C-alpha cells in the first residue's frame, strides 16, 4: 500500500505536469477562437462542453482505459507501441515499413512537442504578472528566458532530489485549481449544465465554422495525454489511472467549469479567466505556484524527450549519444547532453520568435494531434493482431477515435500559417536526420558486408596466422558471421592475435528490457575463438565489460587486466557509385563524425582500448 501511494504521488509530479497546467492557456485560447459568440450563454456552455468531453473521450477513454493496455513489457510511448505493433504476424514488408515510418515521425513530433511545451507553459504562468499590473509586462519575457535557461542548466545535476518535491507540489496545485473552480461555480452553478454533450453538439449545429476552429484550441486541454502512456513504465498502470481518476481529472473539470462561470458573468474576462478565479489578495502567490507547476511540467517533458531519445539511439534510429544516468536507483533518470543543448536552443528561439503564449497556442496543437492520430492507428493494430479483438469491435471503436483525432488535426491545420509550421518544421528536420542516419547506416553495413571475409573461411586458415600472444582480444562487430574489420587491421599492422579472441555482437531486442539470464550467449568456435552475443532492450544502456563479466557463468572467465578491446573507426568517403545523394552523404558524414565513439558508448575501460582506423566508401 505504501509503495502504491508513493508511486501515485510520484506520478502526479512527473506524468501530469503537462496536462495539469493546460488550464493556464487552453480555455483562454478556445474562448478567443469562439470570439464574440461568448456573449451568448449557450456558446459558453458549448466551449466548456467541448473541453470536458475531450478530456472524457481522448484522455480517459482512449489513453487511460484503452491505450494503456498496450504495454510493451510494461513500457509505453510511441516507439514501444510501434515495436509492439511490429511484432504482429502476417504483416508484409510494406506494412512493417509503414509502422516503422509512423514510429519515426511520431518521435519527431514528440521532440517538437518537447520544444513547445516548456515555452508555452512558462510563458502562460509568468504572464499572470501583467494581469494585475500592466507595468510588469516588460519583465515577462526576460523572466521566462531566465527560468527556462536555468532549467536546462541544472539538468546535468539530475532530478532525483528535486523529483521528490514534484508530487507534493502538484498535489497542492491540483487542489488549488479545483477549489478555485468550485468557488467560481458556486457563483454561477448553471455552468454545470455544460456537462451535457448536447451543448457541444449544438455549437456545431448553430455555428459549425466557429466550433470547428475552436477545436484547434480545445486540443490544448488534452496536451500531455501521450505522457500518461510514455511514463507508464516508470510508475505502472494502476498509480497513473488512480491519480487521474481520483485527483487530476476532477480538479481539471472543476477548474474549466470555474473559468466558464467567470465568463458567464463577464465575457470580457475570457482572456484572463484562469487568474480571475483567484481572489485579489492571492493573485501573486497563485502566479508563483503556477510558475512552479509549469517548471515541473517542463521538466517532465524534457525528461520524456531524453527517454525517447535513448530508445531511438538503442534502436539505431539516431547516432550514438552520451547518456548519463543521474540516479543510482531510478533507471529513467537520465541526462543527454547533446539533446539538452538542442532543446535549450530551440525553446529560447521559440520564445523569442512568438513572445506570447497566445501566439504560441497557434503552433502548439498540431504536434500533439499528429502523435494522437499515430497512436490510435498503432493501438488499433495491436488490438486486432495482438489482443485478437473482433474486427466488429475494433473498426467501429478505433474508427470513431480516429475521426475525433482527425477532427482535431484538421482544425489545427488551419493554423499552419499562424505558427503551426514550427512543430511541422521541427518534426521534418528530425525525420530527415533520422531517415538519413537509417539509410546511411544500412548502406555502410552493406558495403562492409561485401568486402568482409566469412568467419568460417578465416578460421579454416587460422593455422597460417601469425604468433598468438597471451591475453584476450575483444572485437566488436555488427555481424557475427564475418571477420571484424578491426581484427583484419590488427593482423595487417601488428601481425599477431591474442590466444583468446572474442567476437562480440551487441543485439538490441525489440522489447524494453532483457532478463539477466538471457543477456549473454557464448558460442565456442574453436582455436581460441568465441562468438559472444550481448542482448539488451531498447530502454537499457549497454555495458560491455559488465556483460562480459557475466559470461563466466557460461564458461568464459575474463581477466579485465589482460583484456584488450579493439574498436574500428571508419572514415567515410564517397564511392564511385555513391549509395546516397550528395546532400544525404554530407549529412550522414556529419552525423557519423559527431556520434559517440563505440569505446564510450559501450563503457569500455579507456586504457584497455585500441582504435584502428579505416576508410569506407559508400
Q: Following DSSP, what letter does each residue of 159-207 receive, concatenated?
A: SHHHHHHHHHHHHHHHHHHHHHHHHHHHH-GGGGGGGSTHHHHHHHHHS
333: region left, alpha or beta (phi > 0 left; psi from -120 to 50 alpha): beta
Q: Give the H/E segment covering residue 368.
A: helix 357-385
pLDDT at position 551, please?
A: 83
Nearest Cα to Cα of residue 88 among 396, 385, 335, 326: 385
pLDDT tens digits for range 132-179: 777 878 888 999 999 999 888 888 776 555 556 678 889 999 999 999
Report strand pairing: 520-526 vs 529-536: antiparallel
pLDDT at position 596, please?
A: 86
pLDDT at position 450, please?
A: 77
pLDDT at position 332, please?
A: 56
pLDDT at position 133, please?
A: 72
Contact 484, 506 (CB under 8 A): no
pLDDT at position 189, please?
A: 92
pLDDT at position 465, please?
A: 63
pLDDT tens digits for range 385-403: 888 889 899 899 999 999 9
Residues lower than pLDDT 70 in the chain: 1-4, 35-39, 88-90, 158-165, 233-234, 326-333, 463-466
DSSP for 299-338?
HHHHHHHHHHHHHHHHTTSS-----EE--SS-TT-EE-HH
* Residue 515: Cβ-neighbour burial (10 angstroms; 0-12, 13-18, 19+): exposed
- HSE at residue 246, side-chain half, CA atoms within 13 A, is 12
For the chain, the structural domain boundaries read 2-71+104-362, 448-617
pLDDT at position 227, please?
A: 77
pLDDT tens digits for range 51-107: 999 999 999 999 999 888 887 777 777 878 888 887 766 677 778 788 888 888 888
pLDDT at position 301, please?
A: 82
CA-to-CA dists, residue 33 to 56, 258, 467, angstroms: 21, 19, 79
Contact 255, 178 (CB under 8 A): yes
Backbone angles phi, psi at 2, to 5 degrees: -65, -40
> Taking CA 226 as the corner, what is the angle to CA 220 and CA 230, rounded to the nearest 5 degrees?
155
> Taking CA 20 as the corner, what is the angle to CA 19 and CA 24, rounded to the nearest 5 degrees?
95
pLDDT at position 164, please?
A: 62
pLDDT at position 592, please?
A: 87
Whole-angstrom Cα distance, residue 365 to residue 418? 12
Whole-angstrom Cα distance, residue 542 to residue 563? 18
* Residue 439: Cβ-neighbour burial (10 angstroms; 0-12, 13-18, 19+): middle
Whole-angstrom Cα distance, residue 516 to residue 242? 31
Whole-angstrom Cα distance, residue 52 to residue 408? 15
CA-to-CA dists, residue 562 to 238, 336, 364, 559, angstroms: 49, 32, 56, 6
Cβ partners under 8 Å of residue 282, min gap 6: none
pLDDT at position 252, please?
A: 95
pLDDT at position 61, please?
A: 93
Q: Which residues on adjacent β-strands are paired with residue 507?
A: 535
pLDDT at position 314, please?
A: 83
Q: Which residues on adjacent β-strands are paired with residue 609?
A: 565
Whole-angstrom Cα distance, residue 84 to residue 71? 8
Helix (H, G, I), strand (E, B) or coil at 531: strand
Whole-angstrom Cα distance, residue 36 to residue 545? 67
Axis crossing angle, helix 421-451 with helix 93-126, rounded to the nearest 10? 140
Helix (H, G, I), strand (E, B) or coil at 469: strand
Kindly state the percentage of the chain with pLDDT values over 90. Answer: 17
CA-CA-CA-CA dihedral for 419, 420, 425, 430, to nearest 10: 130
Amino acid at each position: 500500500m505504501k509503495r502504491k501511494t508513493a508511486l501515485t504521488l510520484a506520478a502526479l509530479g512527473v506524468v501530469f505536469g503537462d496536462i495539469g497546467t493546460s488550464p493556464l492557456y487552453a480555455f483562454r485560447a478556445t474562448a478567443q477562437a469562439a470570439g464574440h459568440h461568448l456573449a451568448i450563454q449557450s456558446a459558453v456552455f458549448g466551449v466548456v462542453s467541448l473541453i470536458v468531453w475531450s478530456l472524457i473521450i481522448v484522455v480517459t477513454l482512449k489513453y487511460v482505459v484503452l491505450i494503456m493496455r498496450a504495454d510493451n513489457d510494461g513500457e509505453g510511448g510511441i516507439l514501444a507501441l510501434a515495436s509492439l505493433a511490429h511484432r504482429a504476424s502476417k504483416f508484409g514488408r510494406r506494412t512493417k515499413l509503414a509502422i516503422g515510418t509512423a514510429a519515426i515521425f511520431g518521435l519527431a513530433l514528440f521532440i517538437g512537442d518537447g520544444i513547445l511545451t516548456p515555452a508555452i507553459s512558462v510563458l502562460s504562468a509568468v504572464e499572470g504578472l501583467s494581469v494585475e499590473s500592466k507595468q510588469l509586462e516588460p519583465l515577462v519575457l526576460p523572466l521566462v528566458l531566465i527560468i527556462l535557461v536555468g532549467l536546462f542548466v541544472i539538468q546535468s545535476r539530475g532530478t532525483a532530489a528535486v523529483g521528490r518535491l514534484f508530487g507534493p507540489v502538484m498535489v497542492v496545485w491540483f487542489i488549488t485549481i479545483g477549489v478555485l473552480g468550485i468557488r467560481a461555480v458556486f457563483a454561477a452553478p448553471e455552468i454545470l449544465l455544460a456537462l451535457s454533450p448536447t451543448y457541444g453538439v449544438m455549437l456545431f449545429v448553430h455555428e459549425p465554422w466557429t466550433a470547428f476552429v475552436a477545436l484547434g484550441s480545445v486540443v490544448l486541454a488534452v496536451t500531455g495525454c501521450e505522457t500518461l502512456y510514455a511514463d507508464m513504465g516508470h510508475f505502472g498502470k494502476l498509480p497513473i489511472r488512480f491519480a487521474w481518476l481520483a485527483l487530476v481529472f476532477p480538479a481539471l473539470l472543476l477548474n474549466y467549469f470555474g473559468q466558464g462561470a467567470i465568463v458567464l458573468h463577464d465575457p470580457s474576462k475570457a482572456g484572463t479567466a484562469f487568474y480571475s478565479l483567484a481572489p485579489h489578495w492571492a493573485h501573486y502567490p497563485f502566479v508563483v505556484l503556477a510558475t512552479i507547476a509549469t517548471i515541473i511540467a517542463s521538466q517532465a517533458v524534457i525528461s520524456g524527450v531524453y527517454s525517447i531519445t535513448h530508445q531511438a539511439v538503442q534502436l539505431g534510429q539516431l547516432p550514438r549519444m552520451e547518456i548519463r544516468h543521474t540516479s543510482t536507483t531510478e533507471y529513467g533518470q537520465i541526462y543527454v547532453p547533446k539533446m539538452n543543448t538542442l532543446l535549450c536552443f530551440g525553446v529560447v528561439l521559440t520564445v523569442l520568435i512568438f513572445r506570447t503564449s497566445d501566439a504560441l497556442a497557434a503552433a502548439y496543437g498540431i504536434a500533439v494531434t499528429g502523435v494522437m492520430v499515430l497512436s490510435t492507428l498503432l493501438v488499433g493494430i495491436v488490438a486486432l493482431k495482438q489482443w485478437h479483438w473482433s474486427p466488429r469491435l475494433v473498426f467501429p471503436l478505433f474508427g470513431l477515435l480516429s475521426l475525433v483525432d482527425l477532427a482535431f488535426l484538421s482544425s489545427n491545420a488551419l493554423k499552419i500559417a499562424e505558427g503551426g509550421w514550427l512543430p511541422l518544421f521541427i518534426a521534418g528536420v528530425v525525420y530527415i536526420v533520422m531517415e538519413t542516419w537509417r539509410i546511411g547506416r544500412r548502406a555502410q553495413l552493406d558495403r562492409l558486408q561485401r568486402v568482409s571475409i566469412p568467419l568460417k573461411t578465416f578460421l579454416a586458415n587460422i593455422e597460417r596466422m601469425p604468433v598468438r600472444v597471451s591475453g584476450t582480444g575483444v572485437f566488436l562487430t555488427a555481424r557475427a558471421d564475418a571477420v571484424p574489420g578491426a581484427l583484419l587491421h590488427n593482423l595487417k599492422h601488428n601481425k599477431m592475435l591474442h590466444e583468446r579472441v572474442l567476437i562480440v555482437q551487441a543485439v538490441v531486442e525489440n522489447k524494453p528490457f532483457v532478463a539477466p539470464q538471457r543477456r549473454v550467449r557464448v558460442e565456442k568456435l574453436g582455436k581460441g575463438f568465441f562468438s559472444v552475443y550481448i542482448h539488451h532492450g531498447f530502454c537499457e544502456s549497454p555495458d560491455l565489460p559488465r556483460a562480459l563479466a557475466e559470461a563466466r557463468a557460461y564458461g568464459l572467465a575474463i581477466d579485465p587486466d589482460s583484456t584488450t578491446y579493439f574498436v574500428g573507426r571508419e572514415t567515410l568517403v564517397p564511392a564511385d557509385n555513391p549509395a546516397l545523394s550528395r546532400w544525404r552523404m554530407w549529412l550522414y558524414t556529419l552525423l557519423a563524425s559527431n556520434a559517440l565513439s563505440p569505446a564510450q558508448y559501450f563503457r569500455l575501460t579507456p586504457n584497455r582500448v585500441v582504435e584502428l582506423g579505416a576508410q569506407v566508401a559508400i
